[in-house]
């Protein structure tokens, strides 16, 4: 009987668990370790953060789902990985002594460490800026946002600054969605004239999203994502500042540096800023107690897999095969990583360093649809390794589709959404040399009410899928 351990139950880990449990759960031992006892549908926390969706509609308990597939669930924090002896150490949430879990195959799918400490003064724990990266954070952001709404109802004007809180942050799409939802909410409340709204980002250009931006047909015209988002922001009277790294937060002010090495300040009354994402750094302990982390993770804590590392940006941009395809560690072939946890070979967007040496580069996004796809690929390969001793499933981000639907108001009657479909996520200039690396037949941008319906349908459909209800495998990642 083979033993498979998964650390993490987000989009990547939970997807992998469902496929593994469905295929081999009765014959083999599948164990999921997660610090929360619930699955949270992260994309809908944008709506939680302004009070448009109740928190309980965005999560459900994990154990009843795993029981259906004969999957063991451990509610706790993994602290150590012993790759030579094939076990991990877990501190149970209920307390007591740490436990050891043996494995034949290990999938690390932890999601990110939220590096609020990387920017002094950043984060909800200090009460200056807020976050929608966890459910608790989204609820806290909602409460503070609604306090600001009350002040506006009394006639006060307020300044909202939403964006990234570090020069190396990612997830620009989430905060862009949050800022437009704030706009729509304040319009609905008749308070928009009391608000100054700004989007603040480390992107090279508006609409870069850490994927080098994109071009697509929009209303019959070839349009860049920068032009697309700029038109939306101008229509909504949302200001923007890009090419900036938040250096510290103090007295409701972002102290920043821009691409040219200039320093400045942006004040706010309410701010949600996404921190830098790092990998979760467990102790990686060798057979004789030595630290073997360099064989498994990079300095940022992300798991090294089958990508080609160390290439300069221009070489990487010309080599789509440098991106990993099976997400397997080269030193320990029974260790895999998925979602945010795996180490990309480099940035997708053009990196930048200021004259002062500050790196301002949007990190590659590896959340949502990308995480789910990678979780499925890894699960299918582990199933094949157990059954047949081989792997046949593979999908690089330079071969991967991704869709992003950014709601701009939650209403199905007067809401809207920006719908962006791209293929591939990482530009493949070998295959599409005249189209900046993407297939213009597939890559698409659209804006309108239909997107709002699609966004809500995705929430309902994926909550159905992740609960493993009837037909869940028919719903694509």
For the segment 63-87, what is each residue's pLDDT rounded down to a tens digit? 999 999 999 999 999 999 999 999 9
Q: Tell whether 76 is covered by a domain.
A: yes
Helix intervals (H) in 283-350: 313-317
Percent of the chain at pLDDT above 70? 99
Q: In angstroms, rounded to a whole number, what is the distance separating the alpha carbons of residues 265 and 36?
A: 37
If DSSP codes are grouped into helix, strand and coil, which group holds residue 268?
Answer: coil
The per-residue pLDDT for range 350-383, each reduced to its tens digit, is 999 999 999 999 999 999 999 999 999 999 999 9
Supply the pLDDT for residue 3. Answer: 98
Q: Tell whether 450 is covered by a domain.
A: no
Which helix (DSSP H) or strand (DSSP E) does residue 253 occupy?
strand 253-258
Q: In angstroms, rounded to a whole number, what is the distance separating the alpha carbons of residues 186 and 238?
A: 12
325, 396 contact by CB (below 8 A)? yes
Supply the pLDDT for residue 222. Answer: 87
For residue 444, list its beta bridge partners: 217, 421
Q: In angstroms, rounded to a whole number, what is the distance separating the alpha carbons of residues 364 and 346?
A: 8
Task: Give φ, ψ of 76 to 5 degrees.
Answer: 180, -175
28, 2 contact by CB (below 8 A)? yes
Q: Tell whether 286 is covered by a domain.
A: yes
Which helix (DSSP H) or strand (DSSP E) does residue 81 occupy?
strand 71-82
Q: In angstroms, rounded to a whole number, what is the distance separating the alpha carbons of residues 255 and 248?
A: 5
The per-residue pLDDT for range 387-405, each reduced to its tens digit, is 999 999 999 999 999 988 8
Q: What confidence category does residue 412 fall into, taking pLDDT thresholds of 50, 70 and 90?
A: low
Q: Tell whether 248 is covered by a domain.
A: no
302, 279 contact by CB (below 8 A)? yes
Average pLDDT, integer, range 179-202 = 97
417, 187 contact by CB (below 8 A)? no
Say whether pLDDT at 191 is over 80: yes
DSSP per residue, 416-433: -EEEEEES-SS--TTT-T
Q: Tell whether 427 is covered by a domain.
A: no
Task: Give the orientation angle of helix 135-153 with respect to helix 172-189, to 10 degrees.
Answer: 30
The per-residue pLDDT for range 233-264, each reduced to its tens digit, is 999 999 999 999 999 999 999 999 999 999 99
Specify the pTM: 0.96
Beta strands in 94-207 (DSSP E): 99-102, 105-108, 113-115, 158-164, 195-200
Average pLDDT, integer, range 175-180 = 95
Q: How many other C-beta atoms can be found within 10 angstroms of the C-beta atom of residue 69?
A: 18
Q: Tell whether 302 is covered by a domain.
A: yes
Supply the pLDDT for residue 413. Answer: 64
Q: What confidence category does residue 414 fall into, taking pLDDT thresholds of 50, 70 and 90?
A: low
For residue 130, list its beta bridge partners: 272
Supply the pLDDT for residue 216. Answer: 87
DSSP per residue, 184-216: HHHHHHT-GGGEEEEEE---SSTT-TTTT--EE
Supply the pLDDT for residue 411. Answer: 64
Domain that holds residue 342: 3-114+277-388
Average pLDDT, integer, range 102-118 = 97
Instruction: Pick the closest to residue 30 from 375, 466, 382 (CA basis).
Output: 382
The per-residue pLDDT for range 14-51, each reduced to its tens digit, is 999 999 999 999 999 999 999 999 999 999 999 999 99
Say whether pLDDT at 410 is over 70: no
| Positive or negative torsion for Cα 90, 92, 95, 100 | negative
Q: In angstroms, rounded to a whole number, what is the distance separating the alpha carbons of residues 27 and 45?
A: 37
**DSSP annotation of 122:** -
For residue 216, list its beta bridge partners: 223
Q: How many other C-beta atoms can be found within 10 angstroms of the C-beta atom of residue 281?
A: 13
Which pairs with CB-CB distance under 8 Å and at least 24 residues apart come from 285-293? Answer: 285/80, 285/81, 285/82, 286/82, 286/83, 286/84, 287/84, 287/85, 292/83, 292/84
Pairing of strands 253-258, 105-108: unpaired
Please give the residue that has the higher pLDDT: either 61 or 409.
61
CATH code assigned at 364: 3.50.50.100
Supply the pLDDT for residue 110. Answer: 96
**DSSP annotation of 362:** P
Q: How many other C-beta atoms can be found within 10 angstroms of the C-beta atom of residue 33?
A: 23
Count how many domains the chain has: 1
The per-residue pLDDT for range 336-345, each reduced to its tens digit, is 999 999 999 9
Q: Which two tokens mark 462? A: 């994926």
Q: Tell whether 284 is covered by a domain.
A: yes
Instruction: Pick the closest to residue 424 from 446, 451, 395, 453 (CA basis).
Output: 395
Averaged confidence pLDDT in the chain: 95
Supply the pLDDT for residue 409. Answer: 67
Q: Which two tokens mark 335? A: 């260790």
Task: Give φ, ψ of 266 to 5 degrees.
Answer: -135, 120
If DSSP codes are grouped into helix, strand and coil, which group holds residue 242?
Answer: coil
Q: In angstroms, rounded to a whole number, what is the distance separating the alpha carbons of residues 207 and 215?
A: 10
Q: Tell whether 326 is covered by a domain.
A: yes
Percent of the chain at pLDDT above 90? 90
Q: In angstroms, rounded to a whole number, what is the distance separating the alpha carbons of residues 373 and 272?
A: 29
Supply the pLDDT for residue 418. Answer: 83
């Amino acid at each position: 009987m083979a033993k498979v351990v998964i650390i993490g139950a987000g989009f990547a880990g939970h997807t992998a668990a469902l496929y593994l449990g469905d295929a081999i759960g009765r014959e083999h031992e599948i164990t999921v370790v997660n610090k929360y006892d619930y699955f949270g549908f992260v994309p809908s926390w944008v709506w939680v953060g302004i009070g448009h969706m109740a928190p309980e509609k965005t999560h459900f308990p994990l154990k009843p789902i795993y029981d259906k597939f004969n999957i063991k669930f451990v509610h706790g924090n993994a602290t150590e990985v012993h790759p030579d002896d094939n076990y991990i150490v877990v501190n149970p949430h209920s307390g007591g002594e740490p436990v050891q879990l043996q494995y034949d195959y290990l999938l690390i799918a932890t999601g990110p460490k939220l590096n609020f400490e990387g920017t002094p003064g950043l984060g909800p724990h200090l009460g200056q800026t807020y976050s929608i990266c966890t459910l608790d954070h989204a609820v806290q952001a909602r409460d503070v946002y609604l306090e600001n709404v009350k002040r506006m109802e009394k006639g006060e004007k307020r300044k909202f600054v939403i964006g990234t809180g570090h020069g190396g942050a990612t997830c620009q799409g989430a905060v862009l969605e949050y800022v437009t939802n704030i706009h729509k909410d304040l319009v609905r409340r008749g308070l928009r004239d009391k608000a100054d709204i700004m989007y603040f980002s480390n992107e090279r250009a508006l609409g870069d999203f850490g994927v080098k931006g994109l071009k697509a047909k929009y209303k019959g015209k070839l349009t860049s994502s920068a032009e697309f988002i700029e038109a939306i922001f101008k229509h909504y009277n949302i200001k923007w500042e890009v090419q900036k790294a938040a250096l510290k937060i103090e007295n409701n002010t972002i102290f920043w540096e821009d691409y040219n090495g200039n320093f400045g300040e942006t004040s706010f009354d309410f701010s949600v800023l996404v921190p830098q994402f790092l990998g979760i750094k467990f102790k990686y302990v060798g057979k004789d107690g030595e630290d073997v982390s360099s064989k498994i993770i990079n300095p940022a804590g992300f798991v090294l897999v089958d990508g080609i590392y160390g290439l300069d940006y221009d070489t990487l941009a010309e080599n789509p095969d440098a991106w990993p395809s099976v997400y397997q560690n080269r030193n320990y072939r029974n260790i895999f990583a998925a979602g945010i946890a795996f180490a990309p070979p480099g940035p997708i967007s053009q990196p930048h360093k200021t004259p002062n040496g500050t790196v301002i580069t949007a990190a590659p996004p590896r959340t949502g649809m990308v995480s789910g796809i990678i979780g499925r690929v890894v699960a299918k390969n582990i199933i094949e390794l157990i059954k047949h001793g081989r792997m046949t499933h593979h999908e690089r981000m330079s071969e991967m589709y991704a869709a992003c639907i950014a709601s701009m108001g939650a209403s199905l009657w007067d809401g809207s959404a920006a719908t962006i479909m791209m293929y591939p996520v990482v530009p493949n200039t070998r295959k599409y040399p005249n189209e900046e690396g993407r297939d213009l037949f597939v890559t698409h941008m659209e804006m309108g009410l239909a997107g709002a319906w699609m966004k809500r349908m995705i929430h309902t459909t994926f909550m159905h899928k992740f609960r493993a209800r009837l037909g869940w495998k028919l719903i694509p990642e």
